Amino acid sequence: MKLEKYLTPESIFLNIEVAGKASLLDIMSKRIAVSKAAVEAGLDYKAILKAIQKREEQSPTGIGDGFAFPHARFSNLNSVGICLAVLKNSIDYESFDRKTINVACMVIVPEKKPTLALKIMSHIARIFSSGNFHEKIRNLKSGTEAVRLISSLQINLDISITAVDIMRRPILTLTPDMPLKIATRCMADARMTAVPVVENERVIGEISTTQLFLLGIPDFFTQLKSVSFISDFDPFEKYFYEEIHSTVADLMSNDFCVMAPEATVMELVFALIIRKYPKIYIVRNGMLEGIIDESLMLERIINI
């Protein structure tokens, strides 16, 4: 099944200017409401917009790097509806990386086929971030030309979901020579519990909050069933001393999980749940390409 099967010239907006997120969702919902999938299911613009807005209230669908993926599932839908918008102006979309977006892909899918949405999102995001595709589509004059360009890529939606379809780009990395005090501040600001240590774009270690907390706790504490008898012990006294004198390299762990972009969903779940790795680092040719954790799996797979 090819992606272009669901695209029509009318389903693509090129270089449109919108006032903001609400305006964008309104325009795209109206356009997707006239798609073959929506018409056959009897879904009107208001029903689609309401479902899209409800999904956004759960968690904004700005997936980062200037891309947004508003979507919804419908029980009475038998096919897929897509609307693609390439914006002339960037807008705030409450994206997880706090960046504005300039490309949005709205998708409605049957409730029984949720992974189709994930595959479409992954492929669209990937082609817009590769090479000069973004520039090419901006220079097109019509939706017909845009459909022709996307069709030439021969995007197959029948393939299984892999790590590259789920991962998101890292928003924070640390270097081994970074002072620990600065590193922990960066982690706190980004609200991240585990961060890769990178040197020359290669993952060489990991810093986690678990390591930071354990820094001031004696090893034998892990064998205790209760600490009520030493409740006045300050577990952070040693931490604050070490923090002043240490770099990331002094504390980073060499026990971290690296996988290829082709890793399967089962391999990812096994590493996160059974092996209990806080994060999986997706690496291609030795270079860090993306990150996957439990919250991302929840967002991309279970809660799509």
| 127 and 264 belong to one structural domain | no
| Residue 174 located in a structural domain | no
| Residue 198 located in a structural domain | yes
| Residue 97 located in a structural domain | yes
Residue 129 sits at φ, ψ, to 5 deg, of: -95, 0
Q: What is the pLDDT of residue 194?
A: 95
**18 pLDDT more than 90:** yes
| Residue 169 located in a structural domain | no
Winning range, highest mean pLDDT, from 134-138, 157-161, 260-264: 260-264
Specify whether the CB–CB gap between 70 and 95 falls below 8 A: no
Of the pLDDT bands very low, low, confident and very high (cuts 50, 70, 90), residue 252 is very high
Q: What is the pLDDT of residue 12?
A: 95
**Residue 257 belongs to what domain range?**
180-302
| 130 and 189 belong to one structural domain | no
User: What gap in Å lies between CA 203 and CA 206, rounded to an integer?
Assistant: 8
CATH number where 121 lies: 3.40.930.10
| 56 and 199 belong to one structural domain | no
Please state which of the ranges 89-98, 239-248, 257-266 shows the lowest mean pLDDT: 239-248
- Per-residue pLDDT tens over the stretch 138-184: 889 899 999 999 999 888 888 888 999 899 989 899 999 999 889 98
| Residue 170 located in a structural domain | no
Angle, helix 180-190 to helix 237-245, in steps of 10 degrees = 110
- Per-residue pLDDT tens over the stretch 68-84: 999 999 999 999 999 99
Of the pLDDT bands very low, low, confident and very high (cuts 50, 70, 90), residue 275 is very high
| 13 and 155 belong to one structural domain | yes
Taking the complete model, does pTM exceed 0.95, yes or no?
no
Q: What is the pLDDT of residue 107?
A: 95
**214 pLDDT more than 80:** no
Query: What is the average pLDDT score of the chain?
Result: 88
